[in-house]
Amino acid sequence: QDTNMLPDIAEGSANLANAWARAQKPVDGVLSIDTVATSYLMKAMPPISSHGLTVTGSNAASVLLNEVYKKVPGATDQDNTFTDITSQAMKQITGNLKDPASFASALLQGLDESRVRMWVKQPDMQQLLASTRIGGDTSASQPKAPQFGLFLNNATASKLEYYLDYEASTTPVACDKSGVQQVSMSVDFKSNVPADPGKLPVGILGLHEHYPPGVISTSITVMSPPGGQIGRMFINGAETDAYLTNLDGKRVLMTNLVLKPGQRKTYTFEMYGAQGQINDAQVRITPAIRNTGLGTLRPTGCF
């Protein structure tokens, strides 16, 4: 459980494969496709119907992330609906696609937006995949570009993330003589939960002992590149404490986002690249539902 909370697709997938192996169900690899990428792929397929729902490329995200919890009663029937829709989709994908060119284009869009990732158990093949877009880590191909990470995970047993919008932007601040680039990374968050969340079903609201219904609680993990650093954090302009640690040579900041229905907040992080990373900053981010999650990434200030 919760293997996808790790921002490293290879490590998370390997843990998932080990869990299946303990159940005597070995796997050769893991293909991760988020719901928005699924909607892109479904534009190249005919509609899928299950339990009174019809899923198309234009509505897949809203149906699978929101409507199913409103229109299909009970967790068991909801799980069965997901299983049935997934099974029908896989049969179409592995069968005779009517428009393979559109399907390939949709897959590339999902890759570009970090919505499609893959890991394989075979070491030599995984070594080839690791530094590609589908492998999830392209930092090795651009060693002079500081690659920062911003990863989000729902901190409650709810489906309220569907109502969360966010956008991350970067602004160069300084570049010292040794080639260490300082960047300000700001993230604007907005809750679109209805003003009267009580009208939403329990399957969406979830149960949380610390917050009233309709409050979004999300774990935030921020990462520097190897050899980089993270400075101060601000929420709506006020400096705020956060937990800092190290992981595989990267500086890691962990904090939490709490939003009431309709509320907005801006988080700002002081980020530092490693020595010599003087090119434009990049941000690896958990993609949002209604956009990629990326705003304006301004050019480096080192030239």
Q: 275: domain CATH number? A: 2.60.40
For 108-144, how does the pLDDT look when each residue is reduced to its tens digit (9 = 90+)?
999 999 999 999 999 999 988 888 889 887 666 678 9
Domain boundary among 94, 112, 130: 112
Q: Is 123 inside a domain boundary? A: no
Q: Is 124 inside a domain boundary? A: no
Percent of the chain with pLDDT over 70: 97
Is the predicted pLDDT of residue 207 greater than 80, yes or no?
no
pLDDT in the model for residue 175: 94
- State whether 84 and 157 are in the same domain: no
Q: What is the domain count for the chain?
A: 2
- State whether 207 and 145 are in the same domain: yes
Q: Is 228 inside a domain boundary? A: yes
* pLDDT band, very low/low/confident/very high, at 82 (cuts 50, 70, 90): very high
Q: Is 274 inside a domain boundary? A: yes
* pLDDT band, very low/low/confident/very high, at 227 (cuts 50, 70, 90): very high
pTM of the model: 0.93
Secondary structure of the chain as H, E, C letters: CCHHHCCCHHHHHHHHHHHHHHCCCCCCEEEEECHHHHHHHHCCCCCEEECCEEECCCCHHHHHHHHHHHHCCCHHHHHHHHHHHHHHHHHHHCCCCCCHHHHHHHHHHHHHCCCEEEEECCHHHHHHHHCCCCCCCCHHHCCCCCEEEEEEEECCECCHHHHEEEEEEEEEEEECCCCCEEEEEEEEEEECCCCCHHHCCHHHHCECCCCCCCCEEEEEEEECCCCCEEEEEEECCEEECCEEEEECCEEEEEEEEEECCCCEEEEEEEEECCCCCCCCCEEEECCCCCCCCEEEECCCCCC
pLDDT in the model for residue 278: 95
Average pLDDT, the chain: 92
- State whether 146 and 194 are in the same domain: yes
Residue 168: domain span:
138-297
- State whether 81 and 172 are in the same domain: no
* pLDDT band, very low/low/confident/very high, at 8 (cuts 50, 70, 90): confident
Q: Is 60 inside a domain boundary? A: yes
For 98-108, how does the pLDDT look when each residue is reduced to its tens digit (9 = 90+)?
889 999 999 99
For 154-200, how does the pLDDT look when each residue is reduced to its tens digit (9 = 90+)?
988 899 999 999 999 999 999 999 999 999 999 999 999 999 999 99
- State whether 159 and 247 are in the same domain: yes
- State whether 157 and 210 are in the same domain: yes
Pick the more confident residue, 99 or 230.
230
- State whether 61 and 207 are in the same domain: no
Q: Is 270 inside a domain boundary? A: yes
pLDDT in the model for residue 185: 98
- State whether 105 and 244 are in the same domain: no
- State whether 94 and 241 are in the same domain: no
